[in-house]
Chains A and B, each alone.
Chain A
Amino acid sequence: MAKIIRRERLVPNLHLLEIEAPQVARKCKPGQFVIIMPDERGERIPLNIADWDSEKGTVTSVFLVVGTSTQKLSILRSGDEVPVYVGPLGKPAEIKKYGTVLCAGGCYGIGAVYPVARAMKKAGNKVISLIDVKANYLLYWEDKLKAVSDEFFVSSRDSYYDCKEFIPKVLKEVVKTTKIDRVISYGCTYLMYTCSEVTRPLGIKTIVSLNPIMLDGTGMCGACRVSIDKKTKFACVDGPDFDGHLVDWQELFSRRKSYFDDEIQSLCYWEKENFPKS
């Protein structure tokens, strides 16, 4: 059992979850993830680690509410417990001095990319953060990211920020004027895919954190297999970070939708059980 220290809504549909897990907190490295099971009947799902405090012994993730598991997580309160919280899993992100590193994040990836940006900055890189939000009110952790970035851009579809475009167009503009040595792109599959497509013709190495469906997360079941350079890899032990130019994106898109109908059925069932009509 792991205790919830804090669960709060950062922006609509995106929540922060801080969990007491001293052993995990001691070992966390940027780019890793945990497996969490919201209750005894829940699924085991992976969450990127967005921050940790090894002294306090807590680990923080940011998640988007999509299905039953994340719905369950989104109503936890401090003091509640989850039966499974295991990690840190996966290989850590490669942190080195590359020169200029652009960290592109969106959705839960804004939180997930933060520790990578922080570590890249600490390793002596110039860090440019490029954050994608659909609208201005969906931006979170601006201060945290600014504090570890030399430059900070937001792409958003409303008129609030300078760039009214989806992230790839903005990324295209940035790479025109600045020499980028490495791009780190964390977030939804589509965001990572489009960022990789922008940098592919330019030959800028682009690292993405893949998010296939997982089960055990420790290299036993093979649910999370992805094709990298036409070879099957297991995201939980070979990744989750991979070279975005080598990923078979179409396969990942379709495999992520494997249980689309079941997920809807599951959520309807849960809502019926938990929010009965009065």
Chain B
Amino acid sequence: MPDKTKQMPPELKASLRAGFNEAWRKELRKSLPVKERMKIRRQKMPERKPDLRNKHFKEVNFGLAVKNALKEAQRCLDCANPMCVMGCPVGIDIPAFIKLIEAGRFNDSARKLKETNSLPSICGRVCPQESQCEAVCNLKKATGVSVAIGNLERFAADFERDSGKVFIPKALPPTGKKVAIIGAGPAGLTVAGELVKKGHKVTVFEALHVAGGVLVYGIPEFRLPNKILRAEVEYLKRLGVKFEMNIVVGKTVSLKDLKSDGYDAFFIGTGAGLPHFMNIPGENLIGIYSANEYLTRVNLMRAVDFPEYDTPVFKGKRAAVLGGGNVAMDSARTAKRLGAEMSAIVYRRSRVEMPARAEEVHHAEEEGIEFHFLTTPIRYFGDDKNRVKAMECLRMRLGEPDSSGRRRPVPIKDSEFIMEVDLVIVAIGNSSNPLIGQTTPELEVGKWGNVEVDWDTMATNMEGVYAGGDIIRGGATVILAMGDARIAAAGMHKYLSSKK
């Protein structure tokens, strides 16, 4: 894994400084004293009512209104040393885009965001800001409440899209170099956006029939509406990115085939692979899903509209979701929306160790999701049709910290109890997708099936082949994938420029 204590790159420091010193920014800072700015309360983003929204798939948040966005932007102190930029995995010039909002230049703000982030309306919705940019916000240090950076990012991006004036940056003159991106998920889309702007010819190969990867099969509509994703993909198409769907690289075509088709560089962003299971008795009973399968059925295959759409999904009355991440929250909230009377998170550690975004946990609680902490299933029971009907659980307590720094759960003796369930969703992570490794023997793969890279450039051991996202990390987040992608895009551009 990369070194987290990295210094800010000098180029970024210089460009932040240049922005900070621009005359309009100085004016804006003067227009309202810091003291006044600190008095403004964090603006709340309006949401649908929990007891109504937990019955349908419409987006939970409405987004900030213009007036609230202006107010929220005023809270940003435009620090000389913006820690938030360091907290962002892709290094967005956060003060610049926020001050553009404060100045009322919303479309310029969106363009500023897009200089470093090709998919701002997505990041504004799905990034765990409270543990990244907002965690290190200087206002948070001063007042305890950070600037709502994520909400403002979403506001700017949504405003530009809804204005119908989406800015298409001019690509640099064609370099004549061809790039193949494998996987149209967050990592692949980011690399595609970066490299097409540099003048390279970019083609994205995708195994599924819709672009977006986990953004389309995994993240539910109530958190990221499909139309937002479609607009982002459309934007990339307008930039000149080509999409080839229903192609499994490694199966339909090999890396070698692509090389002989004249591709000069490659990015492997094939993402999540085989879901993890707990390997406990009864796990293959009917009604026990991996979160990947459950969410794919509902989101990508639209089982929510069965029988108009052909793919079915179990609509359990009593659902248990194993895990404490965003995927677990998404699954539990989906089960609730599909009619579960009880939908519960069953997590072996306690609330503070849950890796999910704070907002998702909060929303889940509001929607009536139950939380069973310090609990783990040890086996399942089925009925005469092999459908799951109950699971036996064990209570845990927290012991010493393990290698991840979180306290290790230790089973409590004789604490077994039975929980009646008819739907179980296992959301305890996944490994990297196995196909590329299986079919490209030259590629160096680690013991978990993850592709090995040089973390400074995201280069693999094969010349001209780069990788990023879940394929190198196992199950991680959208923004980490996009952070990898930005590093990879820089590495690939350098490689392509040096290649005659």
Contact = CB atoms under 8 A, between A and B. Distances in A.
B209 A220 contact: no
Contacts of B217: 216, 220
A222 B275 contact: yes
A258 to B, nearest CB: 5
Nearest to A266: B307
Contacts of B339: none
B322 to A, nearest CB: 14
A87 interface: yes
A84 B209 contact: yes
Contact of A258 (B273, B286, B306): B286
B307 A220 contact: no
Nearest to B386: A254
B297 A215 contact: yes
A101 interface: no
A237 B310 contact: no
Given A27-B251, A215-B293, A269-B307, A220 B273 contact: yes
Interface in B383-403: 385-386
B358 interface: no
A259 B312 contact: yes
B284 interface: yes
Interface stretch (B17-25, B27-35, B432-440): B432-440
Interface residues of A, number: 44
A255 B274 contact: no
A159 interface: no
B476 interface: no
Nearest to A214: B293
A216 B296 contact: yes
Given A220-B272, A220-B273, A269-B307, A255 B312 contact: no
Contact of B283 (A2, A68, A218, A232): A232
Contact of A43 (B208, B246, B290, B301): B301
A41 B438 CA distance: 32
B253 interface: yes
B436 to A, nearest CB: 10
A220 B310 contact: no
B310 A221 contact: no
Contact of B248 (A215, A218, A223, A254): A218
Given A87-B251, A216-B296, A262 B306 contact: yes
Contacts of B386: 251, 254-255
Given A27-B252, A220-B275, A254-B385, 14 more contacts: A2-B246, A42-B310, A43-B310, A87-B252, A89-B248, A215-B301, A218-B251, A220-B217, A220-B296, A221-B296, A222-B289, A222-B293, A232-B277, A258-B286
Interface of A: 2, 23-24, 27, 37, 41-44, 68-69, 83-89, 215-216, 218-223, 225-227, 232, 234, 237, 251, 254-255, 257-259, 262-263, 265-266, 269-270
